Structure 1
Amino acid sequence: MRQVNAAGLLATLSVFATDVTAQDNAIVHDAEYYILEAQNGKVWAVEDEELDKKLSALREEYGAPPNIVHYMWDDQPPMAFGDPIYQQIRGYSTPHLNQLAEEGMQFSRMYTEPGCTPSRAAVLTGQNAIRTGTWEIGFPIEYTGLAAENVTLAEVLSAQGYATGFFGKQHLGDTEESYPINQGFDVAFWALYNQITSLYNKTGEGANAIVGMKEELLAENPYQLDRNFIQDDGFVFYMEGKKGEQAAEWRNGSQEIQDYNDFDTEGRKRAIDFIRQSAEADKPFYVAWWPLWMSFIPNPQKVTLQRGMVGESYQRVIEPDIALLRETLTDLGISENTLIVAMADNGPMTHNPPAGAGLGEGLFRGGKGDFTEGGVRVPAAALWPGVIEPGTYAADMIHETDLFTTFARLAGATQNIPTDRIIDGIDQTSLLLNGDTHGRRDHVFIYQGPDLAATVKDQFKIHWTSDDPGQAKSGLTAVYDLYNDHREANAIVVGGFHFKEPFKRMRARHELWKQKYPDRHHNRGPAYANLSNARPATLALSNPPADFDALPFDPLEFIDHLDQLPYELGEPGYGE
């Protein structure tokens, strides 16, 4: 029998035991980093003490913890902003975003989930989307959403006295428990779905951009028996509300082009009003400002050389948002006590993008929906005047779940983070305050839908799934050096055999943690419930077309079986 050096084993797991288990209300992390930390003999307690001193000094100087604005939009590759040369190549410019990046810190290794619903859930919960059951992209009608048992960043910060506001695209479900006002936000103005709904109108049907939705424009179909298959008259696209009150539908179900475009304009106004009101009340605030930003029915008047929906939407939505945000913070005298993080939610749509979208592949291979770097590496920058050194770049690995834990640390709210589940987010306060090389993450697990598809450790990446299943299972030709093969085209073979077992150990530990803390499932239930101004068509969605008692089963029982369907979504659409 092989002997084990007990002292060495305990040393290896010492941080694992003290900082990672649920005892003494510690945050639970499934983190390769913590084992690496113990192996290398690093002690972060001293650095944490120094960080605590810095944060205490900042709070004393400004009389409050920092305000936090998380501004996020869809489907962009690294360098999409902050790099004028890249923008010249693409035929557009973002001077306000570029200035934000230049005056703050840019991240070259910001990882996300590969699609927008999982990405948004990951940011709000600090957990990989697989843990909350939010790995699938939602379209109307979903009958599901982010479950009430999740603990969001808004709840963590609200418990610490922050004012919390949500403005923009949520895309986390259409059940009542998923509404932002039921997930910790004091006030919210939100879109339930993604950008594809910009086509859900007569213009989209008439142009054949969508098919079979607006039947009033279609030829009579003498073979159609079921006219309630789509039920688009009852769709709800936008909502508004306050914590503790009923939500209400905005624009009464209208989804014409003007309604869609007006949503981001209205969101801008409400976000700025919320910031002003919070500042005037001397209350720290957290704002999740996530615009829809792009319409599939573009403005015919072009303002960029690219003329694609990406470049045009940067000019019409995001640039005005960023300009007004910074102007407002300056006017209120709170710029120096406000952290802004600006980023995309996942990589660009490269699989069958709509004509004229401007959604081209970037430096990395693949795009949204993919586990290759092109699907999960995004542009990101952080601005905190006087705190984050301007003009800096961080090559440290960071994941969007880290924002959950980092924002909680900055707010002095880590005691509000739940300790009964895995929190994937790692505190990256040191990276923000001390700069490049001070990150605390050395790996990410990348899921594609419900499947673990890849793992990144340092600059090396293993593909657990492949077009060649045998090779993927053996691991012999599935490891890539991202510094020298950023497109993941040429696996290391003979020179990389020694990576196979260490990566297998990483995966084994990860899956053991999942056994200890099983993944949750999102709940199923009625859609658009408890609206104060629900339309008859929306209410009719919950009205049975027959006497349920006379049937051998409950027709609504299908809701409980949706998760059992095969995960075969085909090519992802925009906003997925």
Structure 2
Amino acid sequence: MKRSKLSTYIGTAALVALPGLSLAQAAPNVLLIIADDMGIDASNCYAMGNQQARMPNIEAMCQQGMVFDNAYSAPVCSPTRATILTGQYGFRTGVGAAIPPQGTNGLSADANSLFDVLEASQYSTNLLGKWHLAGSDDSLNHPAELGVSDFWGLFKGGVRDYYKWTAVTAAEEVDVNQYSTTAMTNEALEWINDQDNSWFLWLAYNAPHSPFHLPPNDLHSADDLPNTERNIKQNPLPYYNAMLEALDTEIGRLLASMDQSVRDNTIIMFVGDNGTPNQVVDDFYGDHKAKGTIFESGVNVPLVVTGPGIESGRSPAFVQTSDMFTTIAAMLGVEAEAEDSFSFEPALYGNATQRDFVYVEHFGDMSEAKPSDVFGWAMRQGDYKLLMQIGEQPALYNLATDPKEADDLLADGISAEEAAIVASLQQRYQQLATQ
């Protein structure tokens, strides 16, 4: 492990009790579950349309825990994962877009990672599932260089076949001939059962990312779907939903496998890594696409946290995936600092948080961009969001009255009030960029 990078945190005792916990529960386990390509429109925990999959285990978490209505990720997977791992926005890490198979812009191994910080705790830690933080110049040892000594999972961004793919473990490639959601769950189940200490597990599924391959029949209820590429291409939504239902089924199996005492002392965080794939969104967001854009459709994601002492309900607090860095560290009794990470742990117990703005960005080699991608940055304070798309005029939206961003307030000219709002949001951006 690289202990030379541990200059931005102050370690404290790992057995600090969280609010609402007894001393017997002073060291809760933390399970972070990431769904790949799932915006709020794909979750029944949010009132966004009527095309969601059946996900009873996640929906039960939403009933039992805290649901965040204003949780934000990056528009695509690599920068979201980098924000969680480092607590920094992409303009600091250099990871501003999905890393292509031959891309060289991987996350620097010199970055101070969450796993480096957690060395100060007495927890066992691991990351299983999708990595997608390495560039083509990085070795298969990249996770270990960032503090993950026991990584197992998908090294790059996706698979061609959910039933036949390549995993990386101990810096070597291994063939996997099992539906990936099941394989990742099996690895998580085995790792958790092997732990004697309290633990933190980052479990990053690659479902429901394309290709939308039909899961095994015992994991979903869509038994009448034809399992052909032609049908999938013509109508991908039911296949996407079957993958979500299968994901939920496997999460349920993982939780049911835990001893009740372990389950009762485990905090679960479930989050999407970016917006829903554009193939299954259709025209739900009007002229805007979803994944790959800095519109709400690309960056407003489901986030639910449940576990011992955590209140049930909904929170309007602004949360970004970068905030998981300090929040998870706090849950494990470690005080951590990062430029762009504000702990949202107080919100889990009904208290106010420090974050009063949301910043999202998408940058990189535009020659590799998809037609639906939107590059640029956006800043939100209160109900207003300023969107600065590369090559386009500024756009301003009132998300309280226009959550799908259909009405650009600047399209018909700019009033004095609107000019003041734009100036305030631009000033906040400048402050951030110069920190």
Partners in 1 of 2:324 and 2:303 — Cα distance?
Answer: 12
Shift of 1:412: 1.6
| 2:422 matches 1:500 | yes
Tell me by how many angstroms 1:85 deviates. 7.2
Q: Sort the Cα spacing of 1:512 and 1:158 in 2 relative to 1 into closer, same or farther, 3 A.
A: same
The within-5 A match list for 1:475-494 is 478-492=395-409, 493-494=414-415
Amino acid at match of 2:203: W
Cα distance change of structure 1 residues 148 and 491 upon mapping to structure 2, 3 Å threshold: same
- Rate the CA distance shift 1:82–1:54 in 2: closer, same or farther, 3 A: farther
**What is the aligned counterpart of 1:120 among 60, 70, 81?**
81
Separation of aligned partners in 2, 1:328 and 1:290: 18
Mapped partners of 1:144, 1:463: distance in 2: 25
Count of residue pairs the alignment pairs up: 391
Tell me the residue number matched to 1:44: none
* Alignment TM-score, normalising by the size of structure 2: 0.81
Rg bigger for which structure?
A: 1
- The Cα of 1:277 is off from its aligned counterpart by 1.4
Identify if the C-alpha distance between structure 1 residues 199 and 314 changes in structure 2 by more than 3 Å, giving closer, same or farther. Answer: closer
- The amino acid that maps onto 2:354 is R
- The CA distance in 2 between the partners of 1:199 and 1:61, in whole Å, is 42
Percent identity of paired positions between Structure 1 and Structure 2: 22
Distance 1:100 1:127, change over 3 A: same
Q: In the superposition, relative to structure 1, how do residues 84 and 481 fare at CA in structure 2: closer, same or farther (>3 Å)? A: closer
Distance, in Å, in 2 between the alignment partners of 1:443 and 1:429 is 17
Superposition map of 1:174-573 within 5 A: 174=136, 175-176=138-139, 179-195=142-158, 197-198=160-161, 237-241=166-170, 247-251=171-175, 259=177, 261-278=178-195, 281=196, 283-294=197-208, 296=211, 298-299=213-214, 303-304=221-222, 308-316=238-246, 318-329=247-258, 331-350=259-278, 353=279, 358-360=280-282, 365-385=288-308, 387-390=309-312, 392-414=313-335, 417=336, 423-434=339-350, 438-450=352-364, 452-465=376-389, 468-469=392-393, 472=394, 478-492=395-409, 493-494=414-415, 495-513=417-435
Contact 2:16 2:333 in 1 (8 A): no
Tell whether the 8 Å contact from 1:76 to 1:379 is kept in structure 2 after alignment. Answer: yes
For the aligned residue pairs, the C-alpha RMSD in angstroms reads 3.0
1:75 to 24, 27, 37: 37
Compared with structure 1, are the counterparts of its residues 328 and 158 closer, same or farther at alpha carbon in structure 2 (3 Å cutoff)? Answer: farther
1:67 CA displacement: 1.1
**Alpha-carbon distance in 1 for matches of 2:318, 2:37:** 20
SS state of the match for residue 326, structure 2? helix
TM-fit CA distance, 1:431: 0.5
Deviations 1:508-527 (A, max 9, x none): 212221xxxxxxxxxxxxxx
> What SS does structure 2 have at the residue aligned with 1:197?
coil
Look up the SS of the partner of 2:302 in the other structure. strand
DSSP 3-state at the match of 2:291: coil
Aligned residue for 2:133, secondary structure, equals coil
- Tell me the SS of whatever aligns to 2:122: coil
Q: Distance in 1 between matches of 2:105 and 2:45?
A: 39
C-alpha separation in 2, matches of 1:193 and 1:361? 30
Structure 2 unaligned runs (5+)?
1-6, 225-235, 365-374
CA separation in 1, counterparts of 2:163 and 2:44?
34
Give the partner amino acid of 1:303. S
CA displacement, residues 432-472 of structure 1 (integer Å, 9 cap, x when unaligned): 1225xx23211122111156521111111112226644xx3
Task: Give how far 1:160 is off.
Answer: 1.2
Per-residue CA deviations over 1:374-401 (Å, capped at 9, x if unaligned) read 110011111113x1123x0111111111
Deviations 1:305-342 (A, max 9, x none): 886232111222x122221232133x251233211011
State how far apart, in whole Å, the 2-side matches of 1:118 and 1:178 are: 20
Q: CA deviation at 1:182?
A: 2.6
Tell me, in whole angstroms, the C-alpha distance in 1 between the residues paired with 2:328 and 2:87: 10
1:167–1:290 CA contact under 8 A, matched in 2? yes
Do the aligned partners of residues 199 and 56 (structure 1) sit closer, same or farther apart at CA in structure 2, a change above 3 Å counting? closer
The runs of at least 4 consecutive aligned structure 1 residues that moved more than 6 Å come to 25-28
Name the counterpart of 2:227.
Answer: none
Q: How far did 1:361 drift?
A: 6.0
* Greater helix share, structure number: 1
**In structure 2, the residue corresponding to 1:378 is in which secondary structure?**
coil
- SS of residue matched to 1:155: helix
Alpha-carbon shift at residue 26 of structure 1 (Å): 7.4
Corresponding residue for residue 132 of structure 2 = 171
Question: Cα 1:371–1:381, aligned 2, differ >3 Å: closer, same or farther?
Answer: same
**Structure-2 residue corresponding to 1:161:** 122
1:186 deviates by 3.5
Partners in 1 of 2:143 and 2:172 — Cα distance? 12
> 1:39 is matched with which residue?
none
Q: CA deviation at 1:146?
A: 2.1
Q: As a proportion of its length, which structure holds more strand?
A: 2
Q: Relative to structure 1, is the Cα distance of residues 267 and 406 closer, same or farther in structure 2, using a 3 angstrom cutoff?
A: same
What's the TM-score, normalizing by structure 1?
0.62
Give 3-state SS (helix, strand or coil) of 1:127's partner: coil
Kindly provide the CA deviation profile for residues 260-292 of structure 1, in whole angstroms up to 9, marking residues without a partner as x: x433322211101111111xx1x1211111112
